[in-house]
Structure 1
Amino acid sequence: MTISELVRTFPDAEKYALTSQITRSARSVTANIAEGYGRYTYTDTRRFFIQSRGSAVETLEHLSVAHDEGYITENTLEQIEQQCETVIKTINGYIAYLDKVTKERNIQRQPNP
């Protein structure tokens, strides 16, 4: 089940509150990845990937509230948590790659003693 499908099951009273927050934070994950990738510098890309990771964690928090309010089941929350953890691990791996490449390039630029 996608986030969009899931939030459609929430009460109408949450349309401009929790539903909107979950949708925006979930969409922000991929939007920040795309924007970072389009910056063409390791520093900017890294910064946007960190933002993306934060949006994934924010989405999890909103979904925890949805569970607390009885809008989603424990099983649904656990499934989405697993998916988000995979996304976060992937983002962390790419950030580590960017850090490694940046470090290697900085070492190559160091003048010889």
Structure 2
Amino acid sequence: MTSFRDLIVWKKSMLLVTTIYKLTNKLPEEEKFGLVSQIKRSAVSVPSNIAEGYGRNYRKDYSGFLQISRGSLYECQTQLEIAQNLSFLKSEDLNEIKNLSIEVEKMLNSLIKRLEQSA
């Protein structure tokens, strides 16, 4: 691999961000600076931290950034559930995102585990 752009987990997390940006357009305007902002920020943090960690010279640093990315993913998942609980989003609107976020979560877990085992 020559770039973080070659990582499937990065590509999937970028797709997740794009999908979330489209979905959050359905949320109420009054949530623009509240929940919508939080969801977008946490979603963007996932591929951003994958990329930043990839650019580090040490496996321990890379693993740490992947863990931050995973934390941001969990934060985003929680915020989307809050939006659903508040009836801002329907469960059918979230199905694609839930499946994609679980896929990204599994990939992050696997990559973190591989890095920690090779240390």
Q: Please point out which of 19, 26, 29 is paired with 1:12.
A: 29
Give me the whole-angstrom Cα distance separating, in 1, the residues matched to 2:62 and 2:40. 23
Q: Any stretches of 5+ residues in structure 1 without a counterpart?
A: 103-113
Structure 1 runs of 4+ with >6 Å offset: none
| Larger Rg over CA atoms | 1
Higher relative CO (Cα under 8 Å, sequence separation at least 6) belongs to 2
Scaled by the length of structure 2, the TM-score of the pair is 0.82
Q: Any stretches of 5+ residues in structure 2 without a counterpart?
A: 1-17
Give me the whole-angstrom Cα distance separating, in 1, the residues matched to 2:97 and 2:68. 19
Please state if 1:93 is matched with 2:110: yes
In structure 1, the residue matched to 2:82 is 65
Please state if 1:48 is matched with 2:48: no
Give me the whole-angstrom Cα distance separating, in 2, the residues matched to 1:8 and 1:78. 16
> Which amino acid counterpart does residue 56 of structure 1 have in structure 2?
L
- Percentage identity across aligned positions? 38
How many aligned residue pairs are there?
A: 102
Calculate the aligned-residue CA RMSD, in Å: 1.1
